Amino acid sequence: MNKKTSRGAEPQGIIMLAIDKSNGRVVAAVSDFQADRYGGFKKKESQAIRARKSLHAEIVTQCCSQLISKNISTYTREKIFEDLRANDQIETWTHEVGYSE
C-alpha cells in the first residue's frame, strides 16, 4: 500500500498500539506523522519518542478516571506503562509507515 500525498511523497510515521494480553483488546492506539525532529535525532526516532509518550498518556486516559489522568506527571504515566509491561499485562505493537529498512 504505497499511497502518495498530493506532494508525491508517501507519508512517513509511526503507529503504536498497546494490547491487553489477557483478552487481545487494544487499550490504546496512537500515531505520529509530524516531520519535526528533536535535536540529534532522526525523524523516525523523534516520531517514535512522541508516539511512545502519547501511548503512555492514552493508556492512562483509557484506564483511569479523568481526575487521575489529568493530574499525574509524565513520569507517573511512564511508570504505569512500564509496570504493566513488566507484569506481562500489556504488549506494544509498532508499525513504521513509509520507511524502508
So what's the pLDDT on residue 49?
96
All residues at 6 or more sequence positions from 34 whose CB lies less than 8 Å from its CB, including other chains: 13, 46, 47, 50
Sheet holding 13-20, edge to edge: 26-32, 13-20, 90-97
Does residue 5 fall inside a structural domain?
no
Query: Does 3 fall in a domain?
Result: no
6 domain-assigned: no
Structural domains counted in the chain = 1
Q: Give the pLDDT band of residue 2 (cuts 50, 70, 90).
A: low
Query: Residue 74 contacts by C-beta under 8 Å, 6 or more apart in sequence?
Result: 53, 56
* pTM score of the predicted model: 0.84
Give a yes or no: residue 101 inside a domain: no
Q: Is residue 2 part of a domain?
A: no
Residue 74 domain flag? yes
Domain holding 54, by residue range, is 13-96
Residue 55 lies in a domain: yes
Please report, as a single letter, which amino acid is at residue 46: S
Which H helix or E strand runs over 30? strand 26-32
Contacts of residue 88, defined as CB under 8 A and 6 or more positions apart, other chains included, come to: 21
Q: What is the pLDDT of residues 33-77, one digit of tens each?
A: 999 999 999 999 999 999 999 999 999 999 999 999 999 999 999
Residue 1 counted as domain residue: no
Does residue 58 contact residue 30 with C-beta atoms inside 8 Å?
Answer: yes
